[in-house]
Amino acid sequence: MDTPICDFVNNYIKENSLRLHMPGHKGKELLGFEKYDITEVRGADCLYTAEGIIKKSEENAARLFGSSATFYSCEGSSLTVRAMLYLVKAYAISRGDESPYVLSGRNAHSSFVSGCALNDLEVKWLYPDESESYLSCRVTAEKLEKALGSVDKAPACVYITSPDYLGNMCDISALSGVCEKYGVPLVVDNAHGAYLKFLEKDLHPISLGAAMCADSAHKTLPALTGAGYLHISKGAPEFFKENARLALSLFGSTSPSYLILQSLDTVNKYIAEGYEKRLKDFAFALEKSAKKFPFIKQNEPLKLTLDTCKIGYRGGDFAKILEKKGIVCEFFDRDTLVLMLTPENGEDGIKRLFEILGEIEIKAPLAKEAHTIAPPRRIMSIREALFSPREQVKTENALGRALACANISCPPAVSPIVGGEEINQSVIDLCAYYGIDTLFVVK
Ligand SMILES: Cc1ncc(COP(=O)(O)O)c(C=O)c1O
């Protein structure tokens, strides 16, 4: 597979032109890679009006992912999520819906919440089952059917986060069947699942009936941080494809990183040249090792979720032990710890990880507290709350106040409550459990 963006940049470097354009480093090596960091000079194309090398490279990606069109993001899924929300709202308005809303699983990432504020979109939530962590929300076909069957007006889209931070995946194929029945586009936050396309059994949302999805290339493929895709499926309304570049340009920088574009370009070649086999072998080896450890869940092939309480550790304490032994995890909270692996870790990486896990003393299980959040009452919209004057208060003093905006950092950037909702006792209890000491409330 060709790499038109990389080829262009390599030729540009060879020409040794006097760079009288941005960026200010002029190709001089401070960190070592500056010569590759160009801007939209003639021939380099333009991300949001692409017609040349970027378009060609995106078409390569579209062929690999089986989409009708794939658009690059240099600002991760955070950008593509906001763009997707613009697209569903604009599409609904174009069909006569004057006040579109979105029906979403509750475990949506903060980019979804800020995207709703920026696009002035209302949300109806689908809540997780009582037994689930607030980071998960297993929306089943039955749950969705019940929700869509009971609303007065169809939503602009159904929005699902799958895989979630803990590696749980929804049955996208079943959900897309329900969405099709109700004529509603299914939109998926697949930030954690770009690689799913290349498994022996293709589990990518675009293959399973989603209208569009956001993938963070950088989370599971060997791409630079910030690299992402917006995929539009062959069955999706043409409107999405026709307006995707505009939608991305509304929220993205006018100076996209050519380092990231070259990275996405190279990843196409990497995928085309034997990735499926490398992924298959790696996933097989990982599953074989993980199976021997009953406290490890592997719902998603490249993610291990460790139930650390089961073996006597809080997630944070377990993370410290791993760090001392040279292993840095993706995420932990009080009860769990998440490890993300890719074929780039190699079978050596798997061996090293499981040798170390095998050395850790198994202790008596620790009690886990189940925290079910009583759905908070909506007082105002996410947008109204975000633009309201706010103050920071101690969580224990926030009962009955409206949340202004969530102050949950990444990872996991999923909040138990969103702006505009009334803080109830169950939210306060959950915040206390996770050590969230202060909240921003509307004044
Ligand atoms: C579920 C989910 N969606 C979206 C995002 C945003 O992705 P990015 O970091 O590529 O902007 C993240 C980031 O962690 C995420 O976990």
Cis check for the bond before 128: say yes or no (omega within 30 of 0).
no
Name the packing angle between helices 110-119 and 76-94 (round to 10°).
40
Q: Structurally, what CATH architecture does the domain formed by 4-272 represent?
A: 3-Layer(aba) Sandwich (3.40)
Topology (CATH) of 382-442: Molybdopterin biosynthesis moea protein, domain 2 (3.90.105)
Average pLDDT for residues 136-163, to the nearest whole number? 96
Task: Give the 3-state secondary structure of residue 150.
Answer: helix
Ligand 1 atom with minimal separation from the 78 CA: 11
Give ligand 1 pocket residues (Cβ under 6 A). 76-78, 81, 109, 111, 161, 165, 189, 191-192, 216, 228, 410-411, 413
Q: What tens digit of pLDDT does each residue of 320-352 get?
A: 999 999 999 999 998 899 999 999 999 999 999
CA distance 428 to 355: 40
Q: How far is CA 158 from CA 95, 259, 382, 438, in A?
A: 17, 34, 18, 32
Average pLDDT for residues 403-417, to the nearest whole number? 80
DSSP state of 236: S
CA dihedral 155, 157, 158, 159 (to 10 degrees): -130
Q: Please report, for the chain, the start and end positions of each structural domain, with discontinuous segments joined by +.
A: 4-272, 275-359, 382-442
Average pLDDT for residues 344-364, to the nearest whole number? 97
In sequence order, the β-bridge partners of residue 306 are: 296, 337
pLDDT at 416 over 90: no
CA distance 436 to 408: 8
Q: Which residue has the tokens 């006097």?
A: 18
- Per-residue pLDDT at 370: 72
Q: Report which of 262, 269, 290, 271 is spatially closest to residue 45, judged by C-alpha positions.
A: 262
Average pLDDT for residues 37-58, to the nearest whole number? 97
Helix H or strand E encompassing 10: helix 4-15
Ligand 1 atom with minimal separation from the 189 CA: 3
Ligand 1 atom with minimal separation from the 108 CA: 1
CA distance 399 to 421: 11
- Per-residue pLDDT at 241: 98
Q: Contact 54/193 with Cβ under 8 angstroms? A: no
pLDDT at 230 over 70: yes
Q: Which residue has the tokens 């950092």?
A: 409
Burial (CB count within 10 angstroms: exposed 0-12, middle 13-18, buried 19+), residue 303: buried
Residue of 72, 73, 75, 77 with the most ligand 1 atoms within 8 Å of its CB, for mutation = 77
Burial (CB count within 10 angstroms: exposed 0-12, middle 13-18, buried 19+), residue 282: buried
How many whole angstroms from 214 Cα to the centroid of ligand 1? Answer: 9
How many whole angstroms from 60 Cα to the centroid of ligand 1? Answer: 24
How many whole angstroms from 339 Cα to the centroid of ligand 1? Answer: 16
CATH for 275-359 is: 3.90.1150.10
Q: How far is CA 7 from CA 13, 71, 138, 298, in A?
A: 10, 19, 44, 39
Q: Whose CA is nearest to atom 7 of ligand 1?
A: 77
What pLDDT band is residue 411 in, cutting at 50, 70 and 90? low
CA distance 184 to 165: 26
Residues 6+ apart with CB under 8 A from 113: 382, 406, 415, 418, 419
What pLDDT band is residue 434 in, cutting at 50, 70 and 90? confident
How many whole angstroms from 236 Cα to the centroid of ligand 1? Answer: 23
Please provide the average confidence, as pLDDT, over all residues in the chain.
96
CA distance 271 to 258: 20
Phi, psi of 230, rounded to the nearest 5 degrees: -110, 115
Helix H or strand E encompassing 216: strand 212-216
- Per-residue pLDDT at 415: 84
Average pLDDT for residues 369-388, to the nearest whole number? 91
Residue of 80, 192, 264, 408 with the most ligand 1 atoms within 8 Å of its CB, for mutation = 192
Residues 6+ apart with CB under 8 A from 343: 275, 278, 279, 281, 282
Q: Contact 163/303 with Cβ under 8 angstroms? A: yes
- Parallel, antiparallel or unpaired: strands 101-105 and 157-161: parallel
Q: Report which of 395, 365, 430, 436 is spatially closest to residue 132, judged by C-alpha positions.
A: 430
Q: What tens digit of pLDDT does each residue of 258-274 get?
A: 999 999 999 999 999 99
pLDDT at 409 over 70: no
Q: Using a pLDDT cut of 90, give the percent of the chain over it.
A: 90
- Per-residue pLDDT at 425: 94
How many whole angstroms from 325 Cα to the centroid of ligand 1? Answer: 28
Task: Give the 3-state secondary structure of residue 189.
Answer: strand
